[in-house]
Amino acid sequence: MSGSTLSSRPAKSAGLPATYVTASGLPRYNPLSQALHWLTALFALAVLPLAWVAVSLPPSELKGTMFTLHKSVGLTILAIVVVRIVWRMIHPAPADPAAPKALEVIARINHWLLYAIFLVMPISGYLLSAFSGRTTNYFWLFTIPGLEKNEAWQKSFEAAHIVGQYAVYLLVALHIIGTAWHLVIRRDGLLERMLPVQDGRGMR
Ligand code: HEM
Ligand code: HEM
């Protein structure tokens, strides 16, 4: 990461322990926010291929297994995102790094839409499955009950789930492109804000 002197907005980073400030002086996200962020990213990278494989397989035991994994990982994402939102309300994000105002606003909208879509997708997924009268098996550990069969609701949530995937692709792609822009073009150490301390600063 570059040692560029681009600074965050002043004041908010003042008084932070050294471990919360990156090499280029930006305030970091707190360790729990970082851990939850990378857990979401990891599970998001798993839930999509599981869905692609599950929908493409002919009816078989393997298809059922892929769906159980898809649904279980999806519900885990739901739980993590709810915890993230609550944690985020208690612990606001560190001050934004200096960037053109319009890009700052786009980044903020992108973050809130990411939270929103990662709520919409698991909820619509559960409901489309539940309204088809199915129960949901969570990692073969326990069973989440379904709902009374309702074809109209099932079709609506199925449509939301299928269309919603394109919002996931778009928002995650924009998010990663934005991070890459900070990393490669601006070289302002932004990625470090989401990473734990690596240079031992602030350690005894
Ligand atoms: C972050 C969470 C989730 C994401 C990003 C996601 C994404 C996807 C994607 C991309 C597909 C393939 C759609 C297609 O092209 O046919 C899919 C299908 C499906 N998902 Fe999810 N999903 C999530 C959570 C869940 C959950 C929690 C459940 C159920 C408990 C679920 C149930 C289903 C079902 C039943 C299908 C098949 C739909 C159909 O083709 O009729 N999903 N999901
Ligand atoms: C490999 C993929 C990813 C990379 C490289 C990445 C990188 C980052 C970085 C560097 C930040 C901090 C931005 C800042 O300092 O202002 C961030 C924040 C954020 N990321 Fe990611 N991210 C990835 C995947 C995801 C995914 C899949 C989600 C889905 C929910 C996500 C949701 C968020 C949110 C909501 C924030 C804002 C946190 C807050 O202020 O509450 N990220 N990401």
Please give the share of the chain, as a percent, with pLDDT higher than 90: 78
Angle, in degrees to the nearest 10, between helices 31-56 and 61-90: 160
How large is the average pLDDT for residues 40-44? 98
Range of the domain at 39: 27-194
pTM above 0.85, yes or no: yes
pLDDT value at 10 more than 60: no
Q: Are 24 and 40 in contact (CB under 8 A)?
A: no
Query: Is 71 a pocket residue for ligand 1 (Cβ < 6 Å)?
Result: yes
Residue 76 banded pLDDT, cuts 50, 70, 90 = very high
Residue 104 banded pLDDT, cuts 50, 70, 90 = very high
Question: Which two structure tokens, joined as six digits, stand for 36?
Answer: 């939850």
CATH of the domain at 84: 1.20.950.20
Number of domains into which the chain is organized = 1
**Any bridge partners for residue 138, and if so which?**
142
| 204, part of any domain | no
Whole-Å CA distances, 87 to 30, 81, 84: 10, 10, 5
Query: Is 158 a pocket residue for ligand 1 (Cβ < 6 Å)?
Result: yes
| 203, part of any domain | no
Tell me which of 42, 80, 179 to substitute to probe ligand 2's pocket, judged by most ligand atoms within 8 Å of the beta carbon.
179
pLDDT value at 202 more than 80: no
Mean pLDDT of all residues belonging to the chain: 90
